[in-house]
Amino acid sequence: MAKKPTSGSTSPVSRPASDPAARRVFVAPCARGLESVLLGELDDLGLEALQLLNGAVRFQGPLEHGYRALMWSRVASRVLVELVQGPAWDSQSLYDTVREIDWIQHADPDRTMAVDFVGRNDGIRHSGFGARRIKDAVCDSLRDRTGRRPGIDLKDPDLRLHAYLEGEELRLSVDLAGEPLHLRSGGVQGGRAPLKETLAAALLLLAGWPQAAQEGRPLVDPMCGSGTFLREGAAMARGDAPGLMRTTWGFHGWRGHHEAIWQQVVEAARSAAPQPVPPLFGFDADRDAIEVARHGLRAQGLQDVVSFAQAPLSVAEAPCDEPGMLVVNPPYGERIGDRDEADNLMGLLGDILRRRFLGWHAWILAGSPRMAKRLGLRPAQRIPVWNGRIECRWLEVPISAKPVARDV
């Protein structure tokens, strides 16, 4: 082990590999701003030692806990299982930390791998360099043991490692998800500027949709696009495990995977009793968007619980007598359409809500403070969330049950 000249070194902590009951460290990354929602979700799943990080939640437990998060989390973008935590102040100490791992227990020398590397420090200045050193350490280790080494496939590897360098410490993990978890069913998607499923789910959790659904309240999205809110909202209300839709997983290329334990998690998810789903409604001016939305619901076996209609916002009205929840992600102007149009649409949305959705509870994803102002309604909450690179506000807007004087 290379000694750091100044402050001395700590030894790498290599995590257990073969014993599924051994306690492990997991990290579930998520979009910035959603850490607390994710922590709440993982807590509800009964996971332990939860710790908020920047853009992630860490937890600890047996392998089954990691699998449970993988199967049930609607908000996490991946689930990583940590293999080692150790010093990495320069190229050699990074290499030595990675060599501590008994790689034959994790990687198949006849299959492919890739390393994602995040972070840098004075001794490791480029993520590409860090990734290469880790790859060297893994390949050298396997070649010494077997005479063979894994191939590199950056696009579709059998085993994806995730390296996170924080200061002079490396945390190296296996990505158990593979494809990111927002791809619920292998990526059957479409539509203009669709929300990621993980973000839509987090927004619905923040809005208290599971509780409203249990009370039988309806859900409306008047600009539903590809229907992400409705797909996530219906699946959440019925209690479907998002992981049941997927067929490929990162753990398939990991030698530490325990299929019997995974199958227990799959069986438990399959046997969860479906809950009654309240009525859901989707509208959009764009006929193609409605088709994409219908297709997505059909793919999830949820076509019967959502009613769709092609309709511009100007004719939107409450589709049922009982007030419910309205969620909407209007165009921001930055991504589709232009700013003035987007601002005018917010004004129209405010009018429509005030006059035709009496007593409803609206939640609006505003792409800028300007948009929020144009709504002309006072939000009870403005929750900061990131939609990709756009800093948004998730606005809670309770609508008064008192009628206003004249219709729009």
How many whole angstroms separate alpha carbon 135 and alpha carbon 41? 34
d(CA 256, CA 236): 31
For ligand SAM, the closer of residues 140 and 288 by Cβ is 288
Instruction: Quote the tokens at residue 42.
Output: 């993982």
Closest CA to 332 of 408, 234, 233, 225: 225
Nearest approach, Cβ of 341 to ligand SAM (angstroms)? Answer: 8
Number of H helices, E strands in the chain: 11, 16
Tell me the closest approach of the beta carbon of residue 375 to ligand SAM, in angstroms: 15
CB of 244 or CB of 313, closer to ligand SAM: 313
Nearest to ligand SAM of 172, 219 (CB atom): 219
Q: In degrees, to the nearest 5, what angle opens at C-alpha 7 toward C-alphas 4 and 10?
A: 70
Q: By the criterion CB under 6 A, which residues form the site for ligand SAM? A: 191-195, 223, 225-226, 228-229, 284-286, 289, 312-313, 329-331, 345
If DSSP codes are grouped into helix, strand and coil, which group holds residue 46? coil
**Between 1 and 285, whose beta carbon lies closer to ligand SAM?**
285
CB of 225 to ligand SAM, least distance (A): 3
At its nearest, how many Å lie between ligand SAM and the CB of residue 226?
3
The pair of three-digit structure tokens given for residue 192, joined into one six-digit string: 């203009």
Minimum distance of ligand SAM from residue 163's CB (angstroms): 32
Whose Cβ is closer to ligand SAM: residue 85's or residue 198's?
Answer: 198
Of residues 127 and 303, the one with the C-beta less far from ligand SAM: 303
Residue number, 225 or 256, with CB nearest to ligand SAM = 225
Q: Which residue is nearest to ligand SAM (CB)?
A: 225
Q: Would you say 268 or 285 has its CB closer to ligand SAM?
A: 285
- State how far Cα 323 lies from the chain centre: 29
One-letter amino acid at 63 equals L
List the beta strands (DSSP E) in 31-79: 48-53, 56-61
Q: Report the C-alpha gap between 94 and 263 in whole angstroms.
A: 36
CB atoms within 10 A of CB 264: 14
Closest distance to ligand SAM from the beta carbon of 326 (Å): 13
DSSP string, 290-312: HHHHHHHHHHTT-GGGEEEEE--
Spatial CB neighbours of 213, under 8 Å, sequence gap ≥ 6: 219, 233, 236, 237, 275, 277, 278
Neighbours of 317 (CB within 10 A): 13
Q: How far is the CB of 210 from ligand SAM (least distance, A)?
A: 19
Least distance between ligand SAM and beta carbon 146 (Å)? 47
